[in-house]
Amino acid sequence: MATINFKFLKIQGLILLRLISRRRKLILTIFLLTALIGFLLTKFNLLPQERVLRIGMVGTYQEHDLPPEVTGLLSAGLTDLTSGREVNNDATIFKFKLKEDLSWVDNTPLTAGDLEFNIPDTEMSIQDRHTISFKLKDSYSPFPSLLTKPVFKKGTKTGTGPYKITKIEKSRIFITKMTLEPKQSDLPKIIIRFYPGEKVAGWGFKIGEVQALLGLSNPPSQSDPQVVVKQKTDFTKIVTILYFVKDPLLSNRSLRQALSYSSPAAEDEEIANNPFPKSSWAVDPKAKKYLSNSTEAKAALERAGTALSKDQLKSEVILTTTGNLERMGKEIVDSWKQLGIDAKLRVESGIPQNFQALLITQSIPEDPDQYFLWHSTQEKTNLTRYSSARVDKDLEEGRKALTREERKQKYFDFQATLLEDAPATFLYFPKYNVVYLKKVEPLLNQALNL
């Protein structure tokens, strides 16, 4: 076993101290210069920026139901991967040709046989390595709109990029943390944390666990100038009052119109007044408009009085909603009361099966085909139980017509009838909040196109 030569170590230590003593001015100068350079680099943000973006999202998710904000980072939709398409005369057969030299994020070639789609009443077949054919049971011209969701290699979460999942952490069956690595070196690495509620997410942001929070309905109050809060409108959702048209009172169209006219136009929101967003090619700019119109509300209430008794008009109208729309619900009830309606607000934890009037946020498709929301046969999704032979015909023919101009005529007529019948009041397209540290804005813009 080797022994320690303390005498030798002592001599070496004395030599080192003498050298330091002789060169102390040079050593002190080097130390001060190093400290000054470090201070300047930090002060003026001259150090290389961290290429990791830490994002927080609210919700409980599993691998099979990741939110679109995540899947959009992992892959593109089929319609973005094709070089052309063919459709037969009755819109029941669609063929898509994949672009040449496509690859998955793991650099393996992408072929038609790698893809899998589970679309009801649709038969998919592979024509060759680059051609996919879909045969539909019934005519449906907007079928390509169903193929915009990100695609993945069969049985995996491997997409076309620009990111791939490299690590997943879970609590039981739910994902708590996910790491995404970019395919391209100029993109930042992304770490996503999933929080069960907005309050917990807010704390995660405050303690620095994440640098950005996406999709908050109520952002945490901030006085820090380094924190940015941005609002974006979500045109895939619409806040609506639905009227149960089988209700003895709300079966009266004039009363529904009166309630629609007197409903307030929400401040600082993207007003709807229509089942379609303003940017949709199917919107009729001349379509009937409601909201915050007391004169028309009174006139409609008078018309309702010709079919309803005074006792009926004195009946309660109960507006049901959930906690996140309670404030808007109170404004609506107050406006109905000013019209002379005995209105009351009921706040519930979930969507009730039975209601008179229901304030709700509904998802709407990118394509103007709203068959599932308003066709009389759609009992599970047509919550109002609205039934109109004319609307049914417009919706049926709108999804069969092949040209946009033909479809537009059908949807203009659909809007006119629906808005006149007023089974719903279309209030606004909701906003969501993005909260982030100002220093990561370049990374957010680069990765998420914020």
Q: Which of 147, 171, 192 is the endpoint of a domain? A: 147
Containing structural domain, residue 364: 237-429
Q: Is residue 7 part of a domain?
A: no
Instruction: Specify the DSSP class assigned to residue 332.
Output: H
Q: What is the pLDDT of residues 89-107, one digit of tens each?
A: 889 999 999 999 999 999 9
Q: Which of 94, 123, 147 is the endpoint of a domain? A: 147
Residues 305 and 405 reside in one and the same domain: yes
Q: What is the pTM of this model?
A: 0.79
3-state SS, the chain, equals CCCCCHHHHHHHHHHHHHHHHHCHHHHHHHHHHHHHHHHHHHHCCCCCCCCEEEEEEECCCCHHHCCHHHHHHHCCEHHHCEEEEEECCCCCEEEEEECCCCECCCCCECCHHHCCCCCCCEEEEEEECCEEEEEECCCCCCHHHHHCCECCCCCCCCCCCCEEEEEEEEECCEEEEEEEEECCCCCCEEEEEEECCHHHHHHHHHCCCCCEEEEECCCCCCCCCCEEEEEEECCCEEEEEEECCCCCCCCCHHHHHHHHHHCCCCCCCEECCCCCCCCCCCCCCCCCCCCCCHHHHHHHHHHHHCCCCHHHHCCEEEEEEEHHHHHHHHHHHHHHHHHCCEEEEEEECCCCCCCCEEEEEEECCCCCCCHHHHCCCCCCCCCCCCCCHHHHHHHHHHCCCCCHHHHHHHHHHHHHHHHHHCCEEEEEECEEEEEEEHHHHHHHHHHHCC
Q: Is residue 380 part of a domain?
A: yes
Q: pLDDT class for 15, splitting at 50, 70, 90?
A: low
pLDDT at 350: 80
Residues 216 and 133 reside in one and the same domain: no
What CATH number did the domain enclosing 347 receive? 3.10.105.10
Q: pLDDT class for 64, splitting at 50, 70, 90?
A: confident
Q: What is the pLDDT of residues 25-45, one digit of tens each?
A: 666 667 667 766 666 655 555
Compute the half-sphere exposure of residue 440: CA atoms within 13 Å on the CB side of its CA: 25
The answer to whether the beta carbons of residues 167 and 179 sit under 8 Å apart is yes
**pLDDT for 238 beyond 80:** yes
Q: Is residue 307 part of a domain?
A: yes
pLDDT at 217: 76
Residues 102 and 167 reside in one and the same domain: no
Closest CA to 427 of 235, 273, 322: 273
Q: Is residue 33 part of a domain?
A: no
Residues 398 and 268 reside in one and the same domain: yes
Compute the half-sphere exposure of residue 154: CA atoms within 13 Å on the CB side of its CA: 9
- Return d(Cα 414, Cα 412) in angstroms, integer: 5
Hey, how many other C-beta atoms are within 10 angstroms of the C-beta on 78?
Answer: 20
Tokens of 200: 């917990």
Average pLDDT over residues 64-77: 93
Q: pLDDT class for 3, splitting at 50, 70, 90?
A: low
Q: What is the pLDDT of residues 204-216, one digit of tens each?
A: 999 999 999 998 8
Q: Is residue 185 part of a domain?
A: yes
Q: Name the β-bridge partners of 213.
A: 56, 435
What CATH number did the domain enclosing 192 receive? 3.40.190.10
Residues 244 and 321 reside in one and the same domain: yes
Instruction: Find the DSSP H helices in 58-173.
Output: 68-74
Closest CA to 385 of 260, 261, 242: 242
Residues 286 and 350 reside in one and the same domain: yes
Residues 185 and 199 reside in one and the same domain: yes
Percent of the chain with pLDDT over 90: 73
Give how far the C-alpha of residue 351 lies from the chain's centroid of Cα atoms, to the nearest Å: 20
Long-range CB contact pairs, 83-90, < 8 A, 24+: 85/144, 87/141, 87/402, 89/402, 90/139, 90/400
Residues 258 and 319 reside in one and the same domain: yes
Residues 349 and 443 reside in one and the same domain: no
Q: Is residue 409 part of a domain?
A: yes
Residues 187 and 122 reside in one and the same domain: no
Those residues whose C-beta lies under 8 Å from the C-beta of residue 194, and which sit 6 or more positions away, are: 56, 57, 58, 59, 60, 61, 174, 175, 176, 177, 178
Q: Is residue 10 part of a domain?
A: no
In the sheet with 270-271, reading across from the earlier edge strand, the strands are 270-271, 424-429, 237-243, 357-363, 316-322, 342-348
Q: pLDDT class for 333, splitting at 50, 70, 90?
A: very high
Please report the DSSP string for 286-328 in residue order. Answer: TS---SS-HHHHHHHHHHHHTTS-HHHHTSEEEEEEEGGGHHH
Residues 173 and 140 reside in one and the same domain: no
Round to the nearest angstrom and report the end-to-end CA distance of the chain.
65
Q: Is residue 202 part of a domain?
A: yes
pLDDT at 43: 55
What CATH number did the domain enclosing 135 receive? 3.90.76.10
In the sheet with 122-128, reading across from the earlier edge strand, the strands are 82-87, 93-98, 131-136, 122-128
The answer to whether the beta carbons of residues 74 and 150 sit under 8 Å apart is yes
Residues 241 and 195 reside in one and the same domain: no
Q: What is the pLDDT of residues 351-373, one digit of tens each?
A: 888 899 999 999 999 999 999 99
Q: Is the dihedral of CA 134, 137, 142, 147 positive or negative?
A: negative
Q: Which of 121, 147, 173 is the endpoint of a domain? A: 147
**Counted domains in the chain:** 3
